[in-house]
Amino acid sequence: MTLQGWILILVFLGLLLALTKPVGTWLFALYEGRRTPLHAVLGPVETGFYRLAGIDPTAEQSWRRYAVHMLMFNAALMLFTYAVLRLQAVLPWNGQGLAAPSEHLAANTAISFTTNTNWQSYSGESTMSNLSQMLGLTIHNFLSAATGIALAFALFRGFARRQTHTIGNFWADATRVTLYLLLPLCIVYTIFLIASGVPQTLAATVDVHTIEGARQTLAIGPVASQEAIKMLGTNGGGFFNANSAHPFENPSALTNLVQMLSIFLIGFGLTWTFGKAVGNTRQGWAILAAMSFLFLCGVAVSYWQEAAGNPVLHGLGVSGANMEGKDVRFGAAASALFAVVTTAASCGAVNAMHDSFTALGGLVPLFNIQLGEVVVGGVGAGIYGFLLFAILAVFVAGLMVGRTPEYVGKKIEAREVKLAVLAIAVLPLVILGFTALSCVLQQGLAGPLNKGPHGFAEILYAFTSAVGNNGSAFAGLTANTPYYNGMLGIAMWVGRFFVIVPMLAIAGSLAAKKATPESAGSFPTTGPLWVGLLVGIILILGGLTFLPSLALGPIADHLAMVRGSLF
C-alpha cells in the first residue's frame, strides 16, 4: 500500500461527504413535489407526459396500488426491450449487420436491465446494435434507476406520514426523478465524457492505422450517453465487453474518479433526504456513518491484499502488487477502490477483472453483495434495503430495553418485522439454492472455466450478483447458455421484486400508524451505539449467505467429483 493510494481513497470519500447535503436537498424537493429551478424549462414537458398518459399526479396511491402500477410498468418495459432485441436484425442503426440475440439471451438481457442488474452474458460491441444499446438498454438505465428512487420515496413517506393509507404516486415520483434529476445530470456528465475522449456517435465502427502500420477496425457508438447513466443510476452495463477498463468508456484517471463518485452520489444524498423527510437529519447521518464504516473496511482489506500481491509469484522472485486483470493506468489502489465501490453499490461496472483479484481481495466484492447491497447500494434500492435492516436492528434493541421497538416515531410491530425478514431472507435462499443446484447439474457444471474452489466461486458470484442486482462477475463463467440465462434471469427478477413488494407493504403499514413520541425508555437511533448495532445486524444477517457458502463449496466439490464433473 502507498500513501498515494490512501490519499485517493480519502479524497474520494471527502468529496462524497461534501456533496451529500446538496444532492440530498435536491432529492428532498423532488420527494415533496416542490418546484425546482428546472421547472421553468421542464415543467411543461412533465405536464405533457401526464396528459398524454391520462395520469393525475396529485392522486395518491395505497401501497398495493403503488406496487401494482410499478410492476406493470416494469413488465411492459421488459417486454418492449425483449422485442427490440429480437428484432435487432431488421431495425435501423445496425451498422455492423448484427444478428438478433437468441431467445434466452434476449430474455436474460431484458430482465437484467429492467431490474437494474445489467448482467451481461454477451460482448456489447459484437452483439448489440446502436439502436439496441440506446432504445433497448439505455432507456432502462434511466427508468430502472428512477423506479428505485421512487420506491425509496414511498418508504420515506411511510415513516414520515401519520394515519394515512397512501404513500404517494408512482408515476409522479418516477417522472420527476427522471426529468429533474437523472436527465439534467446525465446531459452535463455526457458532455464531460465527450470532452474527455469518450465516443458519442451513431457510427458503428471506425478504421484506424496502428503504430505498426496495420489497419484495425474499432467498434464505436453512442458510448458517452450510456456511460453517464450507467454510473449515475448504478446500472453498470457497459457498451463494451471490457466495461470501464475500456479506454473508450474510461479514458483517464479523472474520468475514473468521476465515475466512482457518480456511483455513490445519489445513494449518499438519499441518506440526508431520509433524515429530512422524518424531521431529523441526524437519522440520515447515522445511516451514512454505518454505510461508510462498512465501505472503508472493505476498501482497506481489498487494497491491502491487492497491493500485497500474489505470494506464489513472490516465491518466484517477482515482487509488487497483483496486476493480473488490472489496467496499468489505474494500478492496484484505483482498481481495488473501484471494485469495492461498484459492489458496495449495486452497479457492477468494473475497471479490473474481479476474477483475477487475490483470494481476499476478491472476497470483499462478493461479501459486499451478499450483505444485501446496502453498503450505499443501488439508487433508492440501497437506502430502502438498509431501512429493512434498521427495522430488524431496532426490534433487537427493543428486546434489550424491554419495550415495543420504535424507529423515527413509529412503533415497529410484528407485521413490519415479519415483512422485513421475508424481504431479507429471500436473498440467501435463492443465492444458495441456485448455486447448490448448479453445482450438481451438468448444465451448471459446464459453465465455470476453472476447476475446484475457484470454479465454485465463479458460480456463487454469478448468483450472488444476479440476486443482488449487481451485474459484476467472476468472468471465468460461461453464462451465455440456456441454463444460466434462464436461472440468472429468475434470480434477478426475484432479487428485485421479491424485496420491493414486502418493503412497500411495510411503507403502507407504517403510514397508517400514529406518531410515537420519544421517551426516556426509547432506544436512541442516532448515536455511535446505534451505528454499531446497525453494522452488527448487517454483518450477522449477511453471514446467512456468506457462511453457508463456505461450507457449500467442499460439499459441491465432493458431489461433483462423484459425478465425474469439471470439478
How many whole angstroms separate alpha carbon 307 and alpha carbon 310? 9
With contact defined as beta carbons under 8 Å apart, do 503 and 259 qualify?
A: no
pLDDT the model gives residue 318: 79
How many whole angstroms separate alpha carbon 30 and alpha carbon 26? 7
Candidates 146, 172, 295, 175; CA nearest to 234 is 146
Tally of CB atoms within 10 A around 319: 9
Alpha helices by DSSP H, listed for 350-413, are: 359-370, 381-401
pLDDT the model gives residue 566: 46
pLDDT the model gives residue 550: 63
How many whole angstroms separate alpha carbon 9 and alpha carbon 298? 12
pLDDT the model gives residue 392: 93
Residue 409 C-alpha cell reads as 416515531
pLDDT the model gives residue 562: 46
With contact defined as beta carbons under 8 Å apart, do 369 and 465 qualify?
A: yes
With contact defined as beta carbons under 8 Å apart, do 375 and 294 qualify?
A: yes
The 8-class DSSP code of residue 523 comes to P
How many whole angstroms separate alpha carbon 417 and alpha carbon 410? 13
Alpha-carbon distances of 256 from 231, 336, 478, rounded to whole Å: 11, 12, 28
Decide: residue 196, CB within 10 A, 0-12 exposed, 13-18 middle, 19+ buried. Answer: middle
pLDDT the model gives residue 280: 93
Tens-level pLDDT at each residue, the chain (567 residues)? 788 889 999 999 999 999 999 999 999 999 999 999 999 999 999 999 999 999 999 999 999 999 999 999 999 999 999 999 999 999 999 989 999 999 999 999 999 999 999 999 999 899 999 999 999 999 999 999 999 999 999 999 999 999 999 999 999 999 999 999 999 999 999 999 999 999 999 998 999 988 888 899 999 999 999 999 999 999 988 899 999 999 999 999 999 999 999 999 999 999 999 999 999 999 999 999 999 999 999 999 999 999 998 888 888 887 888 898 898 989 999 999 999 999 999 898 999 998 888 888 888 998 899 888 889 989 999 999 999 999 999 998 888 777 778 899 899 999 999 999 999 988 889 999 999 899 889 999 988 988 778 888 899 999 999 999 998 888 788 999 999 999 999 999 999 999 999 999 999 999 999 987 777 667 888 889 999 999 999 998 877 776 666 655 555 554 455 444 444
pTM: 0.93
- Please report, as a single letter, which amino acid is at residue 451: K
E strand or H helix at 105, and its extent?
Answer: helix 103-114
Find the helix packing angle between 528-562 and 359-370, rounded to 10°: 110
Alpha-carbon distances of 271 from 160, 389, 492, 532, rounded to whole Å: 14, 14, 25, 17
CA dihedral 526, 528, 530, 531 (to 10 degrees): 100
Residue 187 C-alpha cell reads as 446531459
Greatest CA separation found in the chain?
A: 78
Angle, alpha carbons 110-112-117 (nearest 5°): 150
Dihedral class, residue 243 (left if φ above 0, else alpha if ψ from -120 to 50, else beta): left
